[in-house]
A and B are shown apart, each in its own frame.
Chain A
Amino acid sequence: MNNGRKPVGILAIQGDFAMHAKMLDHIATPWKLVKHAAELEGVSGLIMPGGESTTMLKFFANEDMGAAIKDFAAKGKPVFGTCAGAILLAKEVLNPPQEKLGLIDIAIERNAYGRQVDSSVRLGECPEIADRSVEMVFIRAPIIRRVGESVRVLGRCEGLPVLVEQGNILAATFHPELTEDETIHRYFLRKLSD
């Protein structure tokens, strides 16, 4: 994996960045935590973890972290957001509207399943990536309400799009990092060599 390449960055402002790191360790891929905009220079791709998008947005304003991530993506570097990470990447955020990076043409509604008592583990299908059902952990998860024309839906769960891709940007409304299933992360890592 990743021969001689820069490590994969994991945004570590707050959230379950350690679970993404654990997953990358499982598949023997070097990673580096990113807390400052300048640290994006040293990584080949970026994972934006689950957590609270409102908290992460406060940090995006400091040091122009938000602008730095947009530049990073504009250079074609792969970016993968899970849950809060997907919300930050979206072009449109609902419930309530908030700042966003606008890197993937979706409208996403926050906390759309309800509160924590409505969180659940479900099975979904990602036919282009996995030939079996994928365990999907939804925690106070968002729902993708609109998918733009240039966005590909790679995964669905109970009819809803839950894994979407537009060029170098990948977004999941669930948490593959909370399971033992490496499929989604391996798919993201393949984008590093595209």
Chain B
Amino acid sequence: MWEYDQQMKLKVGLAEMLKGGVIMDVTTAEQAKIAEDAGAVAVMALERVPADIRKEGGVARMASIRIIKEIMDAVTIPVMAKARIGHFAEAQVLEAVGVDYIDESEVLTPADEEHHIHKWPYKVPFVCGARNLGEALRRIGEGAAMIRTKGEAGSGNIVEAVRHLRAITSEIRQLTTLREEELMAKSKELGAPYDLVKWVSQNGKLPVPNFSAGGIATPADASLVMQLGAEAVFVGSGIFKSSDPDNRAKAIVRATTHFNEPQVVAECSAEVGEAMRGIDVQKLDPKELLQTRGW
């Protein structure tokens, strides 16, 4: 049974505080400071940004604890860090270090191809990626306090984030039209816990905040996912792989707040230089996709 107990209230509570904001990937304390000065609501500490992981290959792991600590010392906003899917020991370490959120992330090389981390016992909240409603509810069932679309990290291409966001919101809408006796069959079809399927059918939304990630590179990208129902955005390679990280970070922050005011988004778009190059996701070998990691 999914329980909105005191711990979950604190975990979801921090996610509520981040809404309408931008969470930025950073690999050094210096980048973290740039992100904070640009108005980021949180930073995500990782070893390499997804675009570099994609290019360089190798095993991508939790970031160095030394660097995570430097980042925590450098900024006053919440610091998140990524753990590999299923790598509960990395998660334990990150909790011991005192990070504010753990992203159990497909961007890193999975440690367990069958099981995700059992997230309930932790005091630190978790965010997990999802491509559709079933995947989102499985993660929430395991104790995630925030969901983000997976998109296709490091691609600079918004198409997958849009696909995943639309999938989640339309599946939620569809659930609200079902009769009670149809919910168990739906739960089976989605591969999602029955009580969560029922909760969503009654409330018309996920029980935890739903953010967007994976391919956001421009102010207009941020506006797009916010208009499609995302409640905040994660920007990974999009900032520090662009020609002007500082200006781009500021512009994406402002465009996220004023996402439904085209005039403001236009001003933000005029302030930035060249975006990261980006890749056509259709041309990627399916083996190169990050979004298919985890289930």
Q: Which residue numbers of A lie inside 8 Å of B, CB to CB?
A: 12-19, 35, 50-52, 54-55, 58-59, 62, 83-84, 95-96, 110-111, 114-117, 119-121, 137, 139-140, 175, 178
Q: Does B194 contact A (CB under 8 A)?
A: no
Q: Is the CB of A137 within 8 A of B76?
A: no
Docked-complex contact B21 and A178, CB < 8 angstroms: no
B16 touches A117 (CB 8 A): no
Partner of A121, one of B10, B19, B78: B10
Cα separation A35 to B257 with both chains bound (whole Å): 8
Complex: chain B residue closest to A95, CB-CB: B76
Chain B contacts of A175 at CB under 8 A? 13
Q: Which stretch in B33-41, B128-136, B150-158, B270-278 binds the other chain? A: B33-41
**Pairs of residues from A and B, 3 with the lowest C-beta to C-beta distance, nearest first:** A14-B20, A116-B100, A58-B39
CA distance A191 to B38 in the complex (A): 36
List 5 A–B pairs whose Cβ atoms lie within 8 Å, in order of A's numbering.
Answer: A13-B20, A52-B18, A115-B99, A116-B78, A119-B10
Chain A min CB distance to B199 (Å): 17
For the complex formed, measure the closest distance between the CB of A66 and the CB atoms of chain B, giving whole angstroms: 14
7 additional contacts (CB under 8 A) given A12-B20, A119-B10? A16-B13, A17-B20, A51-B19, A54-B77, A116-B10, A116-B101, A178-B9
Contact B257 A14 (CB under 8 A): yes
CA distance A119 to B10 in the complex (A): 7
Please tell me if the beta carbons of B41 and A116 are within 8 angstroms of each other in the complex.
no
Bitwise interface map of B from 53 to 84 toward A, beta carbon under 8 Å scored 1, else 0: 00000000000000000001000111000000
Give the distance in Å from the alpha carbon of A115 to the alpha carbon of B13 in the complex: 14
Minimum C-beta distance from B126 to chain A (A):
11
Judge whether B19 and A14 touch: CB under 8 Å.
yes
A111, closest chain B residue (CB): B76
Q: How far is the CA of A52 from the CA of B16 in the complex (A)?
A: 11
What residue of chain A has the Cβ atom nearest to residue B12's Cβ?
A178
CA A121 to CA B257, docked complex, whole Å:
29
Contact string, B115-128, partner A, CB cutoff 8 A, digits 1/0? 00000000111000
Residue among B20, B76, B123, B257 facing the most chain A CB atoms (10 A cut-off): B20
B98 touches A117 (CB 8 A): yes
Instruction: Give chain A nearest CB distance to B194 CB in angstroms.
Output: 26
Which of B38, B39, B124 sits near A117, CB closer than 8 Å? B124
Beta-carbon contact of A121 and B9 below 8 Å: yes
Given contacts A14-B20, A178-B13, contact A52 B41 (CB under 8 A): yes
Contact B10 A51 (CB under 8 A): no
The smallest beta-carbon distance between B247 and chain A, in angstroms, is 13
Contacts of A119 in B (CB 8 A): 10, 13-14
